[in-house]
Amino acid sequence: MTILMLCNLTKRYDGRAALDDVSFRVAAGERVALLGHNGAGKSTLMKTVLGLLMPDGGSVDVAGHAPGSAVARAVTAYLPENAAFHPALTGREMLRHCLRLRGQPAHQADALLEKVGLADAADRRFGSYSKGMRQRVGLAQALIGAPRLMILDEPTSGLDPISRRDFYALLDELAGQGTAVLMSSHALSELEARTDRLLVLSKGRLVAEGTLAQLRAEAQLPLEVRITPRRDVDGTVRALFPEASGEGVLRFPCALRDKLDALSRIAQARDLIVDFDIHAPGLDDLYARISQRGAA
């Protein structure tokens, strides 16, 4: 079931296209990462989905309703990059206020704070919270009302490694319950195993869309083979792999179609090799390649 649908979305500022004919869908339970350099159009896209900006062309559909409508607001949650609340309020007071605004029972505040790991800080004032704690309060308010669509802008900004792990576990739980997630992040290494599909914006245009495996295939970036030879036969191994370079660990690129041949060569030299690895290009590498293509 499609929760969010953009069709030929266009937004201009002073004649410049911030979004240029962007179309994609996000299904229930799907985690989609929105990638792009600063100024690529990510924030404009999110604000348009939230109904804060009116498009100049195309359309946005949120669970069958127009963005900004009462129903769309009710089913959508938003977490900005920097969550800001009144510094004099405690975490509990802030969440109770947010719950009342959303028409939910105020007593749910404690359960939400517990869910994001802030139960012990519930009575501390927001002004005393660290950036990571403020972000977790923001996440707690985004969970109010079991939203069908979550819009997350740099959601792990300021979070420590354990909090990031807990955040993604919570995101997996929400997706498992059918919540559609559209998330913007520059922390590309985090997203590789945490999203179902990737969207890449460049200069307001959608220049790539697909799973990580699909984008790898399209980019045709080579694998990297790493071989650790026995010290006493280093020269022999170098002769068997003349394309390799490096000291101690030999490295050479390998096209995806040649992976089995590389493995066969390594197997034939197994008595001369201590260890080997084959590394696929990461999301950082793919994003760099796609961005270069999008800028052309």
The pLDDT value recorded for residue 295 is 59
Confidence of residue 293 (pLDDT cuts 50, 70, 90): low
Q: Which CATH class is domain 222-280?
A: alpha beta
Concatenating the DSSP letter of every residue in the chain gives: -EEEEEEEEEEEETTEEEEEEEEEEEETT-EEEEEE-TTSSHHHHHHHHTTSS--SEEEEEETTB-TTSHHHHHHEEEE-SS----TTSBHHHHHHHHHHHTT--GGGHHHHHHHTT-GGGTTSBGGG--HHHHHHHHHHHHTTT--SEEEEESTTTT--HHHHHHHHHHHHHHHHTT-EEEEE-S-HHHHTTT-SEEEEEETTEEEEEE-HHHHHHHHTPPEEEEEEE-GGGHHHHHHH-TT-B-SSSEEEEE-GGGHHHHHHHHHHTGGGEEEEEEE---HHHHHHHHHHHHH-
- Are the beta carbons of 230 and 274 closer than 8 angstroms? yes
Q: Which two tokens stand for residue 270?
A: 């197994």
Query: What b-and-e string marks burial along 69-95, b requiring 16 or more CB atoms within 10 Å of the CB?
Result: eeebbbbbbbbbbebebeeebbbbbbb
Cβ 21 vs Cβ 203: under 8 Å = no
43 in Cβ contact with 78 (< 8 Å): no
Nearest to 194 by CA among 220, 213, 169: 169
- Angle, alpha carbons 91-142-87 (nearest 5°): 30
pLDDT score for 102? 87
Position of tokens 């010290």?
231
**Contact criterion met (CB below 8 Å) for 163 and 117:** yes
pLDDT at 32: 95
- The tokens for 221 are 């970036």
- Token code pair at residue 219: 């980019």
| Nearest in space to 2 (alpha carbons), one of 148, 211, 171, 170 | 148
Give the pLDDT score at 105.
93
pLDDT tens string 42-82:
999 999 999 999 999 999 999 999 999 999 999 999 988 87
Task: Give the residue extent of every domain in the chain.
Answer: 2-217, 222-280
The sheet with strand 2-13 has its strands ordered as 16-27, 2-13, 57-62
User: How many Å apart are CA 208 and CA 293, to the nearest integer?
Assistant: 10
- Residue 114 CA to chain centroid, in angstroms? 24
* Tokens (6 digits) for 156: 């792990």
Which of residues 184 and 189 earns the better pLDDT score? 184
The CATH number corresponding to 2-217 among 3.40.50.150, 1.10.357.10, 3.40.50.300, 3.20.20.10 equals 3.40.50.300
Cα angle, residue 74 at apex, residues 68 and 80 outer, rounded to 5°? 70
242-291 confidence digits (pLDDT tens): 999 999 899 999 988 899 999 999 999 999 999 999 988 888 888 888 87
219-239 pLDDT, tens digit each: 888 899 999 999 999 999 999
Summarize pLDDT for 78-136 with one digit per residue, the tens: 988 877 888 899 999 999 999 998 889 999 999 999 988 899 999 999 889 888 888 88
Q: Could you report the per-residue pLDDT of 171-187, keeping only the tens digit for each? A: 898 899 999 999 998 77
